[in-house]
A and B are shown apart, each in its own frame.
Chain A
Amino acid sequence: MPAYGPEPEANAGRRPGLLAVTFVILALSVSYLPATAQQRIAWGVRVTVLRPFLATQERLTAARTNARDVEELMGQVDSMTVFLSTQAAMSDENRALRELLDLSERAGPTFLPATVLRAGTAGSESMFLVPVGTAQGVYVGAPVVTRDGLVGVIREVQREISRGMDWTHPDFTASAMLQDGTMFGLVDNRRGAFRELDRLVLDGTAFNEEAAPGTWVLTSGLGGYPRGIPVGVIDSVEETQGQWRKSYWLRPMVEPGQVTHVLIATRGAGDDIAALWETAALTASDVAPTSTSMEFRDSVQVPDSVQGAGGRRR
């Protein structure tokens, strides 16, 4: 570092000090600007200076996914070849069930597929960007889902890009109910010592109602989210207050850190989308994390009720 060079002329006098104080005040005032002004500034920086870097991340994510898809497809081709050579009838059924369980195909055009981009900088935890916006029909408050359940919600929408938060964000809440509709409450999160230890809690449930471990918890349709999106599974009682209220730990359906692709609901998705997940057909042992669900799908050990559903559709 050339520390011995001549002192910068700008260091002389009071002017640099005043300038520095001005910049510090400017930086402080940025923190207290209205949210809309902050968003405008952030947006300006993102579409100019940061644009190439965000585009790089998008391309890299797509490339990684393509590489993984090729491996997965090769594996599937090999498996299918063996399968076809031995059990042609089972193979046909296998294909039909895969289609049945593929959420994006079931969801149809009212759900937009998108790649999740994460900034990885300080303060951007629990937030993500998706390269779809108002031009594609995305709106503020649109639920972001995967085949396993709810990931989060869209918070800010621009023409070609949107920003969302996942359920680990401190602001996340969702009105929820048990799968059978017998108990309603509010799902929020509890921060763990590490981000991986963040957990979901079903809060505000009546004391005299009991939720059995393993019961699915879905969005109730109140407060913004469409009805029927899986959020988590009852794990254990978190807290009991007096004789009037209980809260439960949930095992989340989705681990946000592992999510690379999502579906985003548009306005045409409807108020009740429970049918997309076939929740009644799945048991708690098939729940979350994503990898488990992938194994579940790939092993094609589908419960009888789903096989029945597959048979009906065919």
Chain B
Amino acid sequence: MKSDARVWFVVAVLATTHLLLHVGFGIGRAAPDLLTVALLLGARELGMGRAAGLGLFFGLLEDALTVLSFGANSVAMTIVAALGAVTRDLFVGDSTLFLVSYFVIGKWTRDLVHWVMVGESLRQPFFDQVVVQGLTGGAYAAVVGLVLLEVTGLRQEAAA
């Protein structure tokens, strides 16, 4: 399988698994945010424009299950995807430090933008939702992302 095809296969599996865990099984926050991990992986394979389009699509999937904050996930995912694509031009390499930072900051940025967009009446306190939950979720996403890259062999392939 070509590396590109393998990346997109992983992205599709992650997105499907995310929806299965969160929507199908109703696990909620106990399950990692695999959709953001998938988006961050996919964004590095695309130009900024297409990555933003992918982010918008993923965001709409999550927004379809919300009412009052419709659009917040779309904006958050679109911005994160565009920024993720930009990192390809700015940073070269896949060291553990870079990958951990990439996933943690990516997930945290997604939570931050979502917190801003969701509106004052619905959001939880900044410290709880963005600082504590955002960073915890970012660490969770980083662990899952790193493990996935190792398991699927995508990281070794790049290093070779």
Q: Which residues of A contact B (CB under 8 A)?
A: 1-5, 7-11, 15-20, 22-24, 26-28, 30-33, 38, 41-43, 45-46, 49-50, 52-54, 56-57, 60-61, 117-124, 127, 155-156, 163, 165, 170-171, 193
The answer for the CA separation of A222 and B28 in the assembled complex, in Å, is 36
- Given A23-B49, A45-B64, A120-B28, are A1 and B149 neighbors across the interface (CB < 8 Å)? yes
Whether the pair A19, B19 counts as a contact (CB closer than 8 A) is: no
User: Residue A30 contacts which of B27, B47, B71, B99 (CB distance < 8 angstroms)?
Assistant: B71
The answer for the CA separation of A92 and B91 in the assembled complex, in Å, is 77
The answer for the CA separation of A155 and B60 in the assembled complex, in Å, is 20
Whether the pair A123, B69 counts as a contact (CB closer than 8 A) is: yes
The answer for the CA separation of A5 and B5 in the assembled complex, in Å, is 13
A-B contact pairs, 29 of them (CB 8 A): A1-B158, A2-B3, A3-B92, A4-B94, A4-B158, A5-B3, A8-B45, A8-B46, A16-B49, A19-B50, A19-B53, A20-B82, A22-B52, A23-B55, A24-B78, A27-B55, A28-B71, A31-B74, A31-B117, A33-B71, A46-B64, A50-B61, A50-B64, A50-B65, A53-B19, A56-B20, A119-B23, A170-B122, A171-B68
Inter-chain contact total with CB atoms closer than 8 Å: 204
The answer for the CA separation of A11 and B122 in the assembled complex, in Å, is 37
Whether the pair B22, A121 counts as a contact (CB closer than 8 A) is: yes
The answer for the CA separation of A182 and B82 in the assembled complex, in Å, is 60
Instruction: Quote the shortest CB–CB distance from B143 to chain A (angstroms).
Output: 15
- CB-CB under 8 A from A28, the residues of chain B are 71, 75
Whether the pair A19, B94 counts as a contact (CB closer than 8 A) is: no
- Given A1-B155, A54-B23, are A123 and B72 neighbors across the interface (CB < 8 Å)? yes
- CB-CB under 8 A from B7, the residues of chain A are 1-2
Q: Is the interface of B mostly helix, strand, loop or mixed?
A: helix
Report the 7 A-B pairs with minimum CB-CB distance, sorted nearest first: A19-B49, A31-B71, A10-B47, A123-B66, A56-B24, A45-B64, A23-B52
The answer for the CA separation of A119 and B61 in the assembled complex, in Å, is 11
Other CB < 8 Å A-B pairs besides A2-B157, A117-B26, 19 of them? Answer: A8-B47, A9-B47, A10-B50, A11-B85, A17-B48, A20-B48, A20-B49, A20-B52, A23-B55, A23-B56, A24-B82, A27-B56, A27-B71, A30-B75, A38-B71, A46-B64, A50-B23, A52-B24, A156-B67
- Any chain A CB within 8 A of the CB of B130? no
Closest to A30 in B: B71
Whether the pair B67, A155 counts as a contact (CB closer than 8 A) is: yes
Whether the pair A163, B75 counts as a contact (CB closer than 8 A) is: no
